[in-house]
Amino acid sequence: MHHDRTVTERRVARVLDLRLRPAVYRESLPLDIAVWKVPGEPVPVSEGIGAPYEPVRTGTPWGPAWTTTWFRISGTVPTDWAGQRIEAVLDLGFGATQPGFSAEGLVYGPDGDPVKALNPRNAWLPIAECAEGGEEFVYYIEAAANPVIFDSGSGGDPFVPTRAGDVPSWLRGETAPETPLYRLTRMDLAVFDTTVWELVQDLDVLSGLMHQLPEDSSRRWQLVHAVDHALDLIDLQDIAGTAERAREALAPALAAPAHAGAHRVSAVGHAHIDTAWLWPVRETVRKAARTVSNVTALMDDHPGFRFVMSQAQQLAWLKEQRPEVFARVAEKVRTGQFIPTGSLWIEPDTNLSGGESLVRQFVHGKRFYLEEFGVETEDMWLPDTFGYNAALPQLMKLAGIKWFLTQKISWNATNSFPHHTFWWEGIDGTRIFSHFPPVDSYNGDLSGADIGHTERNFRDKGPANRSLVPFGYGDGGGGPTREMLARARRLEDLEGSARVEMEGPAEFFTKAQEEYADAPVWSGELYLELHRGTLTSQLATKQGNRRSEHLLREAELWSATAALRTGLPYPYELLDRVWKTVLLHQFHDILPGTSIAWVHREAEAVYAETARELSEVIDSAQRALAAFGAEGTAHAIVFNAAPHTRDGIPALGASLRERGARPVEPSAVQGGGFVLDNGLVRVTVDTRGLITSAYDLSAGREALAPGRAGNLLQLHQDFPNQWDAWDVDTFYRNTVRDLAEADEVVAVPGGIRVVRSFNASHITQVLRLDEGSRRLDIETDVDWQEREKILKAAFPLDVRALESSAEIPFGHVRRHTHTNTSWDSARFEICAHRYLHVEEPGWGAALVNDSSYGHDVTRDVRSDGGTTTTVRLSLLRAPVFPDPDCDRGAHRLRYGLVIGVGLQDAVREGYRFNLPERAVPGGAPVEPLVLLADEATADVVIETVKLADDRSGRVIVRLYESAGGRARITLRTGFPLAGVHITDLLERELADEPTPGVEGRDIDLSLRPFQILTLCLTPAE
């Protein structure tokens, strides 16, 4: 007998789509529909339910962009439907988009309690499990008319610029738009045929598995014949009457058990909800409510279902704004079905967030789970961010975390990561057991394609046989569906498939680590070979974050100092609130600059208010300190929040200073141009406004390569193949315009001003050099009106640097400057925080900045035999999706070239550049609460000084070794000391850490390379 399997494969697909799935609802009738249009932003549920409704019918258009419409649906179950399962089918006009990317709805009962959400893959509502007939019902739907901004399913370019992401007109004080986006498609009451639905799931799983098996596999041919036979038994004119016998024919194929060595998959319910992206933050609150309502309803019907939620902020919103939804979460946490996970406040960008910010992500995330649910999370769940800094393993361990999960590295455009299960080693040597789900998605659906790809793709076959699949619609939320749970049930033990078991992350990691304790080690950062443009896009958002991080450092430092010295109340509540606000905006589509315009304009306003509040806190504390104990004439007391003494002002303290360092005045050069000379370095600027010499007078050597100019602004075309705001593709380097012509180069008091114009943009820079400093400061004002361009500042240095050293949280990473391997070549855009340093033995230079993160470093050998290492800073981009006006407008930023310095100097200058001195009227110096007795020789940095969160009045000090070497230091307190102990990040004493040696006010400490140490100091009474 001849049989073409492709005939059966095509047959089952057509029968499923055109006959069986539509037959799940075998009878239906229209519901009564009424509507109320919310005039502005969303309203409380009680207001929506009590609003005046007007009758409408299907086909009615609704929902201008970003508006909310409430629908009331009602009806009566026909008496002849008695004894059957009755559902409502509610299609708001979703279209073919994925859940979370278009219209969404949440259904409420008359009492205001949520029932379940509606989206394109979840458009049903339970009415009666076994109807009696004659029952009347009414429900309310809160429908969100979110516009489709990113459409990956239409077949066209999903990155088309759109104004749909702008701040809505009514929030700008303009008239709301009237054009509706959606049209009610179906609002019916229907009979749900359970048998037909189960048949659909049977065929879905078997046909999906069939496609994954080898073409010559016996099992594949067995499934072909089983499916073919079942289809023969279905009368397409009487599907309901013949579905049961078709199921019986499939039963043997579904009952065949998996082989003993089958791959084991831990299926974890999940719904990645971007805290903002193609929707504003306020919509995320509703997305969380919709998703949680769906999954908790599924848990009622499926006791074995396990679901993880990984962002404490979203649960906190539910607690505050949707307590009835949060109550369901708490109920299901108690049953073990709803699993708080991830240990983070939100899922942040871990390239751009500062070190202390990442600490607080763990602190606030873990504390929320502990306080609300009594759950100590032990994993870091971060599936979707754009690279992972090499300090994270140590931070995880210090937060009590044992396991790490992500998926994003599977997006690498150049190199395939060699492992799915491995130990990740950080810069200090800490190792964390880690897993990358080989399904290559955090939005799995447990389809045959998912499970088949998982097993084939798993790179650790042999020594390991276990992986994890996060399943459920995500990004815009939605979560698992009943169809996915049906697949999981059928795939528990099915021949030809991996074994699928529903369980939580802790169960998976425990089993995986026991099985593969000697997994290979990956050392250093997890660099994502994609989305490099996120280091630069939306400068204003990045500046707001950088400024907020440093203001928080100052607010805590000076408030703690003032509390101990003057009794000024410590602003616990304000700092807690502001920290959470800053952490929220470090979400991995806000801080990287990849959200719609609404999100970024809102973030800029939030950062402005944050700066105002923190500046008031700092000013209040500093004035209290400067006046405390003062007598006689008031002076200017200068405060230094940096961790290094400067110009006679102690680190973390304040003192009187009659005269600080001043900028040197420029001298004219014969033939044109100017010179800045302070006796340490001499900088020459020519008539083009370019730096032609940066001479180290102490070392007697030139910093710039022969014939090359520094601070050369370069403009590149920047039109990546996809993901505009996210990506910078390597071919951007193929076209470059050097901005070498100046409109003006003039001397101004304390500097040299250079003005340039190009296209419709203008740049004004002032170059300054202070007395006694090796740092040339470049203050830059830009009116940026470009589109699809990237602006860089280049410094070609006469140094043979084999590596660059870039600051990351609590340390630095070294990266090769060559491109020997594809891994090196792929790092053509790299992240650095406050400094990037290059050196050869005996001499080095650094770039410091106040708000930039993107850099590139290249190396060339000249004809004279010397080597030019060119360090460039990425200043601005101009992508047009998802915000068509990204970065356009006025900006002010600063960067500097530090000449003839080592790594320790680069660390110091990075802090100084970002923590300016503050002068306050007063008469009393301020002794630091803590200081390094041997600051001049130590590579240890005091990162944080604050009061303990438990309000005990104890002082928390967090410090780290910054150079990658061992350090022995003496930490000296500015107050009598009663006790000291080492804590974890949550300020809990670490019993296994030795008690530091204490003598009087001196604490003797030893630190490993890049070790982070948190101390709790108890002041004496």
Strand pairing category for 789-797 and 775-784: unpaired
User: Please, which residues have CB within 8 angstroms of residue 232's CB and are 6 or more apart in sequence?
Assistant: none
Annotation marks residue 384 as catalytic: yes
Tell me the C-alpha distance between 808 and 810, whole Å. 6
The answer on pLDDT for 4 being more than 80 is no
Residue 931: beta bridge partners?
972
The answer on pLDDT for 633 being more than 70 is no
Of all helices (H) and strands (E), which one includes residue 5? helix 5-15
* 750 φ, ψ (degrees, to nearest 5): 80, 20
| CB-side neighbour CA atoms (13 Å) of 249 | 20
DSSP calls for 529-556: SS-GGGGTS-HHHHHHHHHHHHHHHHHH
Cβ-based neighbour number of residue 330 at 10 Å: 14
Q: Identify whether the C-beta of residue 90 lies closer than 8 Å to the C-beta of residue 65.
A: no
Count Cβ neighbours within 10 Å for each residue of 789-799 and write b for 16 or more, e otherwise: bbbbbbbbbbb
DSSP calls for 465-504: -EEEEEESB-BB--B--HHHHHHHHHTSS-TTS-EEEE--
Predicted confidence at residue 450, as pLDDT, reads: 96
With 0-12 / 13-18 / 19 or more C-beta atoms within 10 angstroms meaning exposed / middle / buried, residue 6 is exposed
The stretch 622-646 carries a mean pLDDT of 86
3-state class (DSSP) for residue 865: coil
With 0-12 / 13-18 / 19 or more C-beta atoms within 10 angstroms meaning exposed / middle / buried, residue 324 is middle
pLDDT in tens, 327-368: 999 999 999 999 999 999 999 999 999 999 999 999 999 999
pLDDT in tens, 796-830: 999 999 999 999 999 999 999 999 999 999 999 99
What's the pTM value of the predicted model, to 2 decimals? Answer: 0.97
User: Please, which residues have CB within 8 angstroms of residue 209's CB and are 6 or more apart in sequence?
Assistant: 223, 448, 451, 452, 494, 496, 497
The stretch 273-300 carries a mean pLDDT of 98
DSSP calls for 870-930: EEEEEEEE---SS-TTTT-EEEEEEEEEEES--HHHHHHHHHHHHS--EEEEES--B--SE
User: Please, which residues have CB within 8 angstroms of residue 48's CB and are 6 or more apart in sequence?
Assistant: 36, 38, 70, 108, 140, 142
Compute CA 151 distance to the chain's CA centroid, rounded to the nearest angstrom.
22
pLDDT in tens, 289-325: 999 999 999 999 999 999 999 999 999 999 999 999 9
Of all helices (H) and strands (E), which one includes residue 557? helix 539-566
Residue type, 153: G
**Longest pairwise C-alpha distance within the chain:** 110
**Residue-averaged pLDDT of the chain:** 96
Residue type, 714: Q
Residue with tokens 């026909």: 78
Q: Identify whether the C-beta of residue 563 lies closer than 8 Å to the C-beta of residue 571.
A: no
Predicted confidence at residue 183, as pLDDT, reads: 97
Report the side by side order of strands in the sheet with 85-91.
25-30, 186-192, 85-91, 124-128
3-state class (DSSP) for residue 1014: strand
The answer on pLDDT for 156 being more than 60 is yes
Q: How many residues does the chain have?
A: 1021
The stretch 707-719 carries a mean pLDDT of 98
Q: Name all contacts of 508-515 with Cβ < 8 Å and 24+ positions apart.
A: 508/266, 508/268, 508/435, 508/466, 508/468, 509/379, 509/402, 509/403, 509/433, 509/435, 511/266, 511/466, 512/421, 512/433, 512/435, 512/464, 512/466, 512/467, 512/468, 513/403, 513/433, 515/464, 515/465, 515/466
Q: Identify the DSSP state of 726.
A: T
pLDDT in tens, 51-89: 999 999 999 999 999 999 999 999 999 999 999 999 999
The answer on pLDDT for 413 being more than 80 is yes
Q: Identify whether the C-beta of residue 919 lies closer than 8 Å to the C-beta of residue 644.
A: no
Q: Quick one: how many helices (H) and strands (E) in the chain?
A: 19, 53
| Model confidence band, residue 629 (pLDDT cutoffs 50, 70, 90) | low
Output the CA–CA distances (angstroms, integers) from residue 9 to 198, 203, 225, 230, 318, in the order listed: 19, 11, 11, 13, 45
Q: Identify whether the C-beta of residue 553 lies closer than 8 Å to the C-beta of residue 610.
A: no
The stretch 378-395 carries a mean pLDDT of 98
pLDDT in tens, 220-238: 999 999 999 999 999 999 9
Predicted confidence at residue 581, as pLDDT, reads: 98
Cβ-based neighbour number of residue 984 at 10 Å: 17
Count Cβ neighbours within 10 Å for each residue of 488-523 and write b for 16 or more, e otherwise: bebbbebbbbbbbbbbbbebbbbebbeebeebeebe
Of the residues 113, 238, 300, 384, which is catalytic?
384
Which two structure tokens, joined as six digits, stand for 201? 């799931």
Q: Identify whether the C-beta of residue 581 lies closer than 8 Å to the C-beta of residue 590.
A: no
Q: Identify whether the C-beta of residue 308 lies closer than 8 Å to the C-beta of residue 377.
A: no
pLDDT in tens, 110-122: 999 999 999 999 9
Predicted confidence at residue 555, as pLDDT, reads: 98
| CB-side neighbour CA atoms (13 Å) of 688 | 13
Tell me the C-alpha distance between 654 and 633, whole Å. 17
The answer on pLDDT for 736 being more than 50 is yes
3-state class (DSSP) for residue 770: strand
Which two structure tokens, joined as six digits, stand for 905? 């100097």
The answer on pLDDT for 1 being more than 50 is no
Residue type, 549: E
